[in-house]
Amino acid sequence: MAVDFRFIVIGRGMMGAAAARHLSSMADGIALIGPREPEERKTHDGVFASHYDEARITRTFDANLAWGTFAARALDRYREIEAKSGISFYSEVGCLYVGPQKAEEDFFRDAVAVSRTLGSDIEAIAPAELGRRFPYLAVDPDFTGYFERRRAGHINPRALVRAQVSLAEQGGVSLIEETVTSVRDAGSHVEVTAGGKSYSAGRVLVAAGGFSNFHTLLPRPIDTRVMARTVVFYEMGEREMAIFGDMPSTIVLGDREEDHIYILPPVRYPDGKTYLKLGGDTERLSFQNLKDAGAWFRSDGSAAERDHLSRIALQLMPELAGCPVTSGPCVANFTPTGYPYVGFAQSPRIGVLTGGNFVAAKSSDELGRLGAVLLAEGRLGDEDFGRELTPVFAAA
């Protein structure tokens, strides 16, 4: 039978929008289906996405070659995407990694080795130099640093998605602003239901992030944990901007995993105020359904986690004392492999692209490209880490 589209991408987030853009240069007859960001978060009762924000850290410094490669490939395309779309989203302010040398020796050693493979320029900073070079940060005297000046900083995820969608549409992609509620392999094609209408395609890519299992989008649920994350915002005034205004993105590895923290430099938000944002990776609340995930996104995150992060923040950056503090919700989608999933979901016509593992925003353009290659060519090669990206499915 004739189909409406050759390919449909489900999910208008960072990976899905990137996949649609890349597909637009590979084939005709493509649709991108997904709702826009809700105007009122606290009253919205549908699906959400984790890119509803103004800043995400970018870096290639990583102890894992695959993740470092994904980031490097994406970062190398940022300026081209900006130029072609006319939308700015990338701030190359650098990224600083700091931590106790002895406790993180293996990580730093492996990350430096990966950086050499990727051709990244990483500067090692001795403990005695950290305070002089980065005076906003108060760390223990045995902490060492690694600074990546080029191909590092932060991106505006909202703006990046706008740029990807704009270029996809310029390339002929049909944008359908609806929520997909079911996907069915009909044998010769795939049937997709969205907004009460049915669409058909030869192949479909499900890029619905943490919501991939919450509607009938896949033949079988993927093995993934959708975890709550709280982010904390410090409102900046003139005094704070004089101190923190020129800081790079910063990741601090503490002596304990629960003390790890990431820090975004001051960024102006849609309310007209400028905030320094930080977050961690300690919460254990997970979601099994749309109702619970939606309730979390409508909240202000966890008050206990906000207080925990604030205590660490004030130890690391005492000059934040007195700043107004707020918090917000996010989710992280973890896979048991530690890698994203880019592969077919037990159907040669339905692919899945998800599993950011809390580190994929910077790599989303490359992961989207891999999803596009999967649909267009039917497989990923070793040069694209195809084996590592094979999806794992939940037990029947």
pLDDT tens, position by position, 188-214: 999 999 999 999 999 999 999 999 999
pLDDT range class, residue 298, cuts 50, 70, 90? very high
> What are residue 374's DSSP bridge partners?
none
Count: domains in the chain: 2
> Is residue 307 a part of any domain in this protein?
yes
> Is residue 306 a part of any domain in this protein?
yes
Crossing angle of helices 14-24/157-170, nearest 10°?
20
For the stretch 330-367, pLDDT in tens is: 999 999 999 999 999 989 999 999 999 999 999 999 99
Check whether residue 78 and residue 117 sit in a common domain: no
Which residue range forms the structural domain that includes residue 258?
95-149+225-334
> Is residue 211 a part of any domain in this protein?
yes
Check whether residue 60 and residue 169 sit in a common domain: yes
Check whether residue 99 and residue 140 sit in a common domain: yes
Quick one: which of 386, 380, 324, 334 has its CA closest to 357?
334
- CATH of residue 193: 3.50.50.60
pLDDT range class, residue 1, cuts 50, 70, 90? low
Check whether residue 367 and residue 250 sit in a common domain: no
Check whether residue 247 and residue 290 sit in a common domain: yes
Q: What is the average per-residue pLDDT within 248-262?
A: 89
Helices (H), 176-251: 238-244
| Helix or strand run (H / E) with residue 131 | helix 127-133
| Residue 344 C-beta-side C-alpha neighbours within 13 Å | 15
Cβ neighbours of residue 78 closer than 8 Å, sequence gap 6 or more: 89, 90, 155, 365
Domain boundary among 286, 308, 334: 334
Check whether residue 248 and residue 272 sit in a common domain: yes
What sign does the CA torsion over 70, 72, 77, 78 have? Answer: positive
What pLDDT does 376 receive? 97
Check whether residue 326 and residue 348 sit in a common domain: no
> Is residue 129 a part of any domain in this protein?
yes
Backbone angles phi, psi at 329, to 5 degrees: -95, 155
Per-residue pLDDT at 42 exceeds 70: yes
> Is residue 320 a part of any domain in this protein?
yes
Q: What is the average per-residue pLDDT within 94-116?
A: 92
- CATH of residue 294: 3.30.9.10
> Is residue 351 a part of any domain in this protein?
yes
> Is residue 110 a part of any domain in this protein?
yes
Distance in angstroms (rounded) separating the CA atoms of residues 59 and 75: 8
pLDDT range class, residue 51, cuts 50, 70, 90? very high
> Is residue 41 a part of any domain in this protein?
no
Distance in angstroms (rounded) separating the CA atoms of residues 266 and 264: 7
Cβ neighbours of residue 103 closer than 8 Å, sequence gap 6 or more: 253, 255
Check whether residue 75 and residue 6 sit in a common domain: yes
Domain boundary among 312, 334, 356: 334
DSSP string, 231-296: EEEEE--HHHHHHHTTPPEEEE--SSGGG-EEEEEEEE-TTS-EEEEEE-S----EE-SHHHHHHH
Distance in angstroms (rounded) separating the CA atoms of residues 393 and 396: 8
Quick one: which of 163, 184, 229, 228 has its CA closest to 10?
184
Domain boundary among 319, 334, 349: 334
| Residue 329 C-beta-side C-alpha neighbours within 13 Å | 21
Quick one: which of 392, 9, 389 has its CA closest to 199?
9
Retrieve residue 382's tokens.
């070793």
Check whether residue 136 and residue 281 sit in a common domain: yes
Check whether residue 69 and residue 190 sit in a common domain: yes
Backbone angles phi, psi at 24, to 5 degrees: -65, -20
Check whether residue 108 and residue 251 sit in a common domain: yes
Q: What is the average per-residue pLDDT within 47-62?
A: 96
Check whether residue 166 and residue 68 sit in a common domain: yes
**DSSP label at residue 247:** P
